[in-house]
Structure 1
């Protein structure tokens, strides 16, 4: 029977990245292991009971919640690369290099998302592998669901990495070098060497995982909390609309969106979870984290221990590391004071600050997929395929949720170019601080605008994407 050292197993899952081979700089084995006793257990024991299997499934979601990944820093890095925030403190520990486009292979922020992302991928791979060889521990239907959840987690993690470390798919139909595709769980560093797949190959795997997940995921769970924090069928569909939009495959965006967006208002998913927009956007960020608008969110709890420097609430609100750029969307005339979303900003003598994340203990739910995004993904795809009426209809629904008195000028929706640009502006307002801005620029091959003392970056510059970290390069000889 295959034996593993349980102390070593815990350390590897906590500290190591791709192939469990690249050690995070701040991770110390002695701090993590003590006072855990030395215990040798069977690898099969991890999947020996339904309770232990469920613990592994929950562990995948916890890996996504890492402060270095979707629980904080990854979303922040994607936003501060754009033009909406000004850096106030020049603190390299809170993303200054990313904001200033001075990040390099040795930068901590080049390593953080990479390490945490591949740790999440490995946790999903281990669940898939473990269930494949332990076929009688949970009922067959439960095993199918767990594998589907693992594939959703793996797809989300790969998407989050390829959009940061890979060239945009639309640049050359994905022919550029991407990132390594690791599809088997790793318990050691013996097979760490793996070449980069192309961008297209990574997206092919993401879509395969999401298509499989859509089939295997449940339509709904028994509570609103589970419908928000675990993947269900609509979760996979919603992520596919984002993925296809990133790939420029607008007809596919429409096909997927129509599965959960009816032909006319009111927009409520007809099957599965009744996903829809809330009457007030303020509900999502304070009163009810588990409303039906929240298709997938990461619930932060005290045990998750997302430190201040990784926390969105700390960086945007409590410590005010980043103020809103008055030359960005905050000062844009198309975002008037009558818009309820402007109440999610506070001002003081230091500037204007985002308050979407306002829990004093940093226990906010982190929004990953919202129904309003599906509507705007659909709107943009409709506009780009010539259906200006549908694009305008969906755009207007999102705007009027927060500003019922607002009317788009005729010129803003009269042509395909004008409508697409208007939708992109609406996305900047709706998803401010939710980690979508960098990819919205890159997937449209737009220049990252200058802001403050930070220069602009064109699609031809190496700074347009993140570099693979040195620690990975040194441990993976196949790169």
Structure 2
């Protein structure tokens, strides 16, 4: 480790982090793979790429075994615990749930460090394949495709950092402090110095770079991958752009990107001419068959031999204890009973499960409690449709917004509850639909974050972090779709202006990086 260098770079400094990818990919790598040899033949380059996905799925925790940082499970778990639609029942997520984090709290520290470790692996891949093309080891088309994968992961990772450590784009059109957008592989003393000199820039600058990376990914990724949805495709890059532009409030941009994926048709079922994406007829199918369904666009793969483990895999952390999971996080009765979640909705009957040990309801989206092979869903076609529905609604095209909303909603609700005309507040109905459709998929905090300053759809009273239930407030009788009781949260909302809305840059970074030492978030 170079003197004075931030610890997160250690994970992929001179080696490309492939020591454990055999478990993840079932490919036998070399026992160690230095960058001087990693890009000398096509098979080794594929190992480098697989190592990047291993880092995305499992990461590391306190220098040891992974706990699903950053995308194996942690991005979903953390984003749900920052919201109010799931209830933390134990100490494991207490800091995140209660917003009592500081610059040394494990969850936010590891999220920052492991995201930047992943970004560096993406940069190592990008730099290496560029050299391999120049040396004639791989063709330019193959090299461009690998670079596009690296850029996709780099864009996804930087956006994950933005929604936790920075103010939303809506504040000053992105004029607030962003995160360092790392585009250089840190693999030499000179690169270390360059990395240390890079400041936070602005949120707007980060979004511009994210879109630049995704434009490149769209242009150079294939429509299909032999690894299925475990590797990004052209459609995945476009889908992610609908999300990014939604966070920017660029409604026309959301519509334009979504149109590429088939959201502009005005009759018949929605399907994408790129990638062949379409909604499954049953909302449970994408979770019963993570690797083989028409709706998933990009997911992070896990396997029995490589996953976040009992302390980091989605089924272990979010599942009920009577089926072998830890029973740490229950669905909030206030979501379960919400008036907008109608009686007879399949997403309640098929994707919620009663824990007979405590009488509470838990998500049933991740259900392999024994070997923990459930994949982490990053983006589905349902999200693309709802992203575009919101953009159409906000720009006045009520008819198309309603078609897109109904496409997602109608497969789950009884006929009597289907919308035949637009609700009085269509945008609100779309936002409520997101809470149901993406429950336990980590989309709640990103929505809270992007809507924080929205005068019509942000949390009321200037709240930035919603009021939440304490675990002692709920029991089996709290869940009742006939009487639909509402429980007044015992944990007060936290104002958007409160410093706790943002996570702090970790002490491990601040103490080693003189540039960021002067750019810590206020209050920490």
TM tier relative to shorter chain? 0.7 to 0.9
Post-superposition offset of 1:409: 6.3
Q: Which digits, 9 at most, give the CA deviation of each residue in 1:333-363, with x for residues without a partner?
A: 2213411111211123341111111002211
Gaps of 5+ in 1: 1-7, 10-14, 23-37
Rounded to whole Å, the distance in 2 between the matches of 1:280 and 1:286 is 10
1:260 aligns with 2:261: yes
What SS is found at the alignment partner of 1:309?
coil
Q: Give CA-to-partner distance per residue, 1:431-460, whole Å, 9 cap, x none.
A: 001111001011011333211243212221
Question: In the superposition, relative to structure 1, how do residues 41 and 50 fare at CA in structure 2: closer, same or farther (>3 Å)?
Answer: closer
Equivalent residue number for residue 495 of structure 2: 458
Map 1:47-446 → 2, pairs under 5 A: 47-66=39-58, 67-89=68-90, 91=91, 94-135=92-133, 136-187=136-187, 190-191=192-193, 192-193=195-196, 194-221=198-225, 223=226, 226-261=227-262, 262-264=264-266, 265-270=268-273, 272-287=274-289, 289-317=291-319, 318-327=325-334, 329-342=335-348, 343-347=350-354, 348=356, 349-360=358-369, 361-407=371-417, 413-414=423-424, 418-445=425-452, 446=458
2:87–2:330: 8 Å Cα contact kept in structure 1?
Answer: yes
1:399 Cα deviation from its structure 2 partner: 0.5
Distance 1:367 1:388, change over 3 A: same
> Which residue of 1 is the match for residue 488 of structure 2?
none
CA displacement at 1:220 relative to structure 2: 2.0
Residue pair 1:269, 1:276 contacting (<8 A) in 2 also: yes
Separation of aligned partners in 1, 2:248 and 2:229: 26
Q: For residues 435 and 21 of structure 1, do their structure 2 counterparts lie closer, same or farther at Cα, with a shift above 3 Å needed?
A: same
Cα distance between partner residues in 2 of 1:326 and 1:167 = 29
Q: Supply the distance in 1 between the matched residues of 2:328 and 2:153 (Cα, whole angstroms).
A: 30
Shift, 1:257, TM fit? 0.1
Q: Measure the CA separation in 1 of the matches of 2:430 and 2:127.
A: 42
- Where does the alignment leave 5 or more consecutive residues of structure 2 unmatched? 14-29, 59-67, 320-324, 453-457, 471-490, 517-524
Are residues 199 and 323 of structure 1, via their aligned partners in 2, closer, same or farther at CA, if it must alter by over 3 Å? same
The aligned counterpart of 1:46 is 38
Question: Is residue 2:515 matched to residue 1:467?
Answer: no
| Offset, 1:305 | 3.4
Q: Do 2:307 and 2:373's aligned partners in 1 also have CA atoms closer than 8 Å? A: no
SS in 2 for 1:296: strand
Q: Conserved in 1, the CA contact under 8 Å of 2:290 and 2:374?
A: no
Q: Please tell me the root mean square deviation across aligned C-alpha atoms, in Å.
A: 2.3
TM-superposed CA distance for 1:43, in Å, is 2.9
* Count of aligned pairs between the two proteins: 441
* Cα distance in 1 between the residues matched to 2:311 and 2:154: 26
Distance 1:105 1:288, change over 3 A: closer
Q: TM (normalized to structure 1)? A: 0.87
| Conservation of the 8 A alpha-carbon contact between 1:220 and 1:273 | yes
- What is the aligned partner in structure 2 of residue 26 from structure 1? none
Partners of 2:359 and 2:175 lie apart in 1 by 45
Deviation at 1:426, TM superposition (A): 0.3
Structure of higher RCO (CA pairs closer than 8 Å, 6+ residues apart)? 1
1 CA distance for matches of 2:109 and 2:235? Answer: 32
Q: Does 1:477 align with 2:514?
A: yes
Distance apart, 1:404 and its partner CA: 4.3
Question: Structure 1: which 4+ aligned runs deviate by more than 6 Å?
Answer: 38-41, 409-412
The verdict on how the C-alpha distance between 1:21 and 1:166 changes in structure 2, with shifts beyond 3 A counting, is: farther
Q: Distance in 2 between matches of 1:288 and 1:108?
A: 29
- In structure 2, do the counterparts of structure 1 residues 359 and 246 end up closer, same or farther at CA, with 3 Å as the change threshold? same
Match for residue 17 of structure 1?
8
* Alpha-carbon distance between aligned partners in 1 of 2:207 and 2:292, rounded to the nearest angstrom: 29
Q: Tell me the CA shift for residue 114 of structure 1.
A: 0.5
Alpha-carbon shift at residue 290 of structure 1 (Å):
2.2
Conservation of the 8 A alpha-carbon contact between 2:307 and 2:372? no
Query: Is the Cα contact below 8 Å between 1:242 and 1:377 reproduced in 2?
Result: yes
Distance in 2, matches of 1:287 and 1:396, equals 24
1:33 paired residue number: none
Task: From the superposition, tell whether residues 19 and 306 of structure 1 become closer, same or farther in structure 2 (CA, over 3 Å).
Answer: closer
Cα separation, 2, equivalents of 1:130 and 1:365: 28
Distance 1:288 1:310, change over 3 A: closer
